[in-house]
A and B are shown apart, each in its own frame.
Chain A
Amino acid sequence: MMFKLFKKDLILFSHDQRSVMLTFLLPVILITLFAFAYGSIGVDHGRSEPVALLVADLDHTRSSKEFIDRIDSLADIRVIVSDPNKAKDLVIKGKYACAMIIHKDFQDSLESGSATPVEVVYDRSREMEIGILQQDLIRTLLSSAGEILVKKNIEKFLQEQFPSIGKSASDAILKSAIKDGNSVPAIKWTSIVGERNDTKLGLIQSVAGTAILMLLFSVAGVGTSLLEEKENGTINRLLYSPLKGSTILYGKMLFAFFISILQLTAMFLFAWLVFHLDLSVNIPALILMIIATAFAVSGLGIFLAAIARTRQQAQNLSTIIILVMSAIGGSMIPLFIMPAILQKIALLSVNYWGIQGFYDVFWRTLPLAAILPKILILMGIGLIMTLASIQLFKKRIRKWR
């Protein structure tokens, strides 16, 4: 009987073009948009476009020129030389995020070890770009300053200890001492997570985050259809037949579960076809994660319908809960840029466990045993939601009659 109800829902779903579009096309569009927004695709090796930096050099010294060259050599920054007034004007007009002005006495300040007269004027609304620049500029400035100081100290030492040393010998020693920037204590930054092949963090975030968000909406729609059936009288007609009330609920859940699996699979296949996401990284874990996520989400969707009294109420309630849960759970904004307190609250959401599970599969490339706890938590959420829905639904049916 349950399969007859499932088949009926499947036929109704396939006839409803709007639902099909919302289930498959909309997530695909959102995944594409988010994937581009998170900047991990469309450029070589997952690197985003360099940030443009206007530079106005008022010092015109060897040190200031070297400093600019060093910045320009960074992969994340593209230097555009300008004059101070024009640069400020371009930032105010929103053409560029910021401009760096190297004031006079830059070289002198480096040599004397006093504060460097470097000013960055910026647009506060573009803090993400500024953040990237800030890190690179400080590192480059420190490196330049350090190099000049080291050079100055070595020169002083050579003059004092070996006054008769020739200029060519002195230059050779200096060159050797500061070669390859070894003169300053530089921190070596090495990424150790997600370095495997071409895995792209932004892409995983966009696929998993968006897929779960859209999945919640699709499944809430399936749950809401239960209340729609109550309103148009088909639930009562089903109850006139030898069907049990719980069978009606199981039929809906089976359909919600199936649609969830189908939608998640379609999303990952899309990511594989269009963005070359490597699905073969851990196929058993991926399959189990899809099943567990689908079970948890379909349980939640049916639960939302079970606690609502009317279809309108279910729609409003599910919209609020899904949006809030997705926002804190990492579907809309990557979790790592959220404050610590929100990251803790995120544990309460289905989105968190789903997204983190898919991170484990694709980004951290963990073995199945390490991903299993997240899979079990998702299955647990699904089970609790299902049991609660059955109890609530039984009560509802008594009232509906």
Chain B
Amino acid sequence: MKNVSFTIERGEIFGILGPNGAGKSTIVNIVNTLVTPDQGDVIIDGVNIKDQGDTIKSIMGVVPQEIALYDELSAYGNLMFWGGLYNIPKSELKANVARTLEIVDLANRKNDRIKTFSGGMKRRINIACSLLHNPRILVLDEPTVGVDPQNRNHIFELIERLNHDGMTIIYTTHYMEEAERFCDKIAIIDVGRIIAQGTLKELRKVSGAKDTLTIKLADVNHETITRITSENPLFRFDGISNTLKVECGNIGHDISLIIGRIQNSGGVIERIFTQGTNLESIYLKLTGKELRD
């Protein structure tokens, strides 16, 4: 990691987006005091984690990337064990376990062993284990890897609910749509460096990525295409899909103008596809490569 610096406000969901091996888990481990950085400091609530690691651990919950549970223990057994590591009085811990099981919607399976759970259910218990000491900050390290869409939505709703209740969330992922869905701010990381950070709007601006309009013509002939592209140099023809592609700052504002120009040049439009600026295009613009699993 080099020159990594970011600020997270209380109650925010902060996304760390990057491909596998970019350094997301290393950031998680540094923030949680598990790894000591060669240089630099991490300040949480005005406290330098170098000085008060244990204090930080008690206000922070970490959901690891792996399903770090004991298969032979029940859901309840796992929660009691993991929660028990935080010196919570037993009666309070029991109440927290019951509440957390309700939150992750697995109260009816509490006595079943983890090995009988589906992958998605395990993921939910994996998260629940990190909530038992009522942390103010929750760090989730790629919590939806290998989870089916239904369970993924369940996890998203859980995160949104926790954030709504005031929890600050650090969320690492390599799925663009997840970062887009609920992150207030996103840091894009690649090869151990943060290459851009901010809100989606800020990232769009920084990257210079634009919305894309894709137009399929009814009658594609060489003469018409040449005429359209010579009269409108920003229009690109994609010979493979036989479509015209136009980048624009604001689709809503520019679409009627573009349609008019094509028609004036003799083109007959069959279909129009719009694609707003998303993290994928921003990432592509910033790194020159696509973000893949």
Contact with B along A388-401 (1 / 0, CB 8 A): 00000000000001
Residues A242 and B70 in contact, CB atoms below 8 Å apart? no
Residues of A within 8 A of B34 (CB): 236, 239-240, 401
Residue A238 lies at the interface, judged by CB distance under 8 Å to chain B: yes
Task: From the candidates A4, A12, A15, A16, name the one contacting B85 in the complex (CB within 8 A).
Answer: A4
Residue B82 lies at the interface, judged by CB distance under 8 Å to chain A: yes
Residues A240 and B77 in contact, CB atoms below 8 Å apart? no
Residues of A within 8 A of B70 (CB): 8, 12, 234
Task: From the candidates A233, A238, A239, name the one contacting B67 in the complex (CB within 8 A).
Answer: A233
Residues of A within 8 A of B11 (CB): none
Q: How far is the CA of A1 from the CA of B73 in the complex (A)?
A: 18
Residues B57 and A241 in contact, CB atoms below 8 Å apart? yes
Residues B64 and A12 in contact, CB atoms below 8 Å apart? no
Residue A243 lies at the interface, judged by CB distance under 8 Å to chain B: yes
Residues B72 and A12 in contact, CB atoms below 8 Å apart? yes
Residues A4 and B62 in contact, CB atoms below 8 Å apart? no
Known: A15-B72, A233-B67, A237-B64. A242 touches B58 (CB 8 A): yes
Residues A233 and B64 in contact, CB atoms below 8 Å apart? yes
Residues A237 and B72 in contact, CB atoms below 8 Å apart? no
Residues of B within 8 A of A1 (CB): 85
**Residue in chain A with minimal CB distance to B57:** A242
Q: How far is the CA of A36 from the CA of B23 in the complex (A)?
A: 62
Contact with B along A143-172 (1 / 0, CB 8 A): 000000000000000000000000000000
Q: How far is the CA of A234 from the CA of B82 in the complex (A)?
A: 10
Residue A341 lies at the interface, judged by CB distance under 8 Å to chain B: no
Smallest Cβ distance from A242 to chain B, in angstroms? 5
Smallest Cβ distance from A371 to chain B, in angstroms? 40
Smallest Cβ distance from B100 to chain A, in angstroms? 16
Smallest Cβ distance from A177 to chain B, in angstroms? 80
Residues of B within 8 A of A238 (CB): 85
Known: A11-B73, A236-B34, A401-B34. A241 touches B85 (CB 8 A): yes
Residue B69 lies at the interface, judged by CB distance under 8 Å to chain A: yes
Q: How far is the CA of A27 from the CA of B256 in the complex (A)?
A: 85
Known: A239-B34, A240-B34, A242-B58. A4 touches B64 (CB 8 A): no
Residues B29 and A4 in contact, CB atoms below 8 Å apart? no
Residues A8 and B81 in contact, CB atoms below 8 Å apart? yes
Contact with B along A215-257 (1 / 0, CB 8 A): 0000000000000000011101111111100000000000000
Q: Interface residues of A: mostly helix, strand, loop or mixed? A: helix
Residues of A within 8 A of B73 (CB): 8, 11-12, 15
Residues B69 and A234 in contact, CB atoms below 8 Å apart? yes
Residue B41 lies at the interface, judged by CB distance under 8 Å to chain A: no
Residue B202 lies at the interface, judged by CB distance under 8 Å to chain A: no
Q: How far is the CA of A238 from the CA of B84 in the complex (A)?
A: 11
Smallest Cβ distance from A335 to chain B, in angstroms? 40
Residues of B within 8 A of A8 (CB): 70, 73, 81
**Residue in chain B with minimal CB distance to A237:** B68
Residues of B within 8 A of A243 (CB): 85
* Most central of B34, B70, B85, B113 by chain A CB within 10 Å: B85
Q: How far is the CA of A15 from the CA of B77 in the complex (A)?
A: 12
Task: From the candidates B57, B68, B77, name the one contacting A232 in the complex (CB within 8 A).
Answer: B68
Interface residues of B in 51-100 (CB under 8 A from A): 54, 57-58, 62, 64-70, 72-73, 77, 81-82, 84-87
Residues A240 and B69 in contact, CB atoms below 8 Å apart? no
User: Which of the four size classes fits the interface of chain B?
Assistant: 20 to 34
Task: From the candidates A11, A15, A16, A240, name the one contacting B64 in the complex (CB within 8 A).
Answer: A240
Residues A16 and B72 in contact, CB atoms below 8 Å apart? yes
**Residue in chain B with minimal CB distance to A239:** B34
Residues of A within 8 A of B44 (CB): none
Residue B269 lies at the interface, judged by CB distance under 8 Å to chain A: no
Residues of A within 8 A of B87 (CB): 242
Residue B173 lies at the interface, judged by CB distance under 8 Å to chain A: no
Task: From the candidates A15, A16, A240, name the one contacting B62 in the complex (CB within 8 A).
Answer: A240
Residues of B within 8 A of A4 (CB): 81, 84-85
Residues B85 and A242 in contact, CB atoms below 8 Å apart? yes
Residue B35 lies at the interface, judged by CB distance under 8 Å to chain A: yes
Residue B32 lies at the interface, judged by CB distance under 8 Å to chain A: yes
Smallest Cβ distance from A27 to chain B, in angstroms? 23
Task: From the candidates A15, A232, A233, A240, name the one contacting B32 in the complex (CB within 8 A).
Answer: A240
Q: How far is the CA of A241 from the CA of B64 in the complex (A)?
A: 12
Interface residues of B in 95-131 (CB under 8 A from A): 113, 129-130
Q: How far is the CA of A179 from the CA of B33 in the complex (A)?
A: 92
Q: How far is the CA of A63 from the CA of B68 in the complex (A)?
A: 84
Smallest Cβ distance from B215 to chain A, in angstroms? 49
Q: How far is the CA of A233 from the CA of B143 in the complex (A)?
A: 14
Smallest Cβ distance from B143 to chain A, in angstroms? 13
* Most central of A12, A232, A234 by chain B CB within 10 Å: A234
Q: How far is the CA of A12 from the CA of B68 in the complex (A)?
A: 15
Residues A241 and B68 in contact, CB atoms below 8 Å apart? no
Residues A241 and B72 in contact, CB atoms below 8 Å apart? no
Residues of A within 8 A of B32 (CB): 240
**Residue in chain A with minimal CB distance to B78:** A8
**Residue in chain B with minimal CB distance to A13:** B72
Contact with B along A72-110 (1 / 0, CB 8 A): 000000000000000000000000000000000000000
Residues of A within 8 A of B68 (CB): 232-234, 236-237
**Residue in chain B with minimal CB distance to A241:** B85
Q: How far is the CA of A232 from the CA of B71 in the complex (A)?
A: 10
CB-defined A-B contacts under 8 Å, sample of 18: A4-B85, A11-B72, A11-B73, A15-B72, A15-B73, A16-B72, A234-B70, A236-B66, A237-B129, A240-B34, A240-B64, A240-B130, A241-B57, A241-B85, A242-B54, A242-B85, A242-B87, A401-B34
16 further contact pairs, Cβ within 8 A, besides A232-B67, A240-B62, A242-B85 = A1-B85, A4-B81, A4-B84, A8-B73, A11-B73, A15-B113, A16-B72, A233-B67, A236-B64, A241-B57, A241-B82, A242-B58, A243-B85, A401-B29, A401-B34, A401-B35
Query: 4 closest Cβ contacts across the A-B interface?
Result: A233-B66, A233-B68, A241-B85, A237-B68
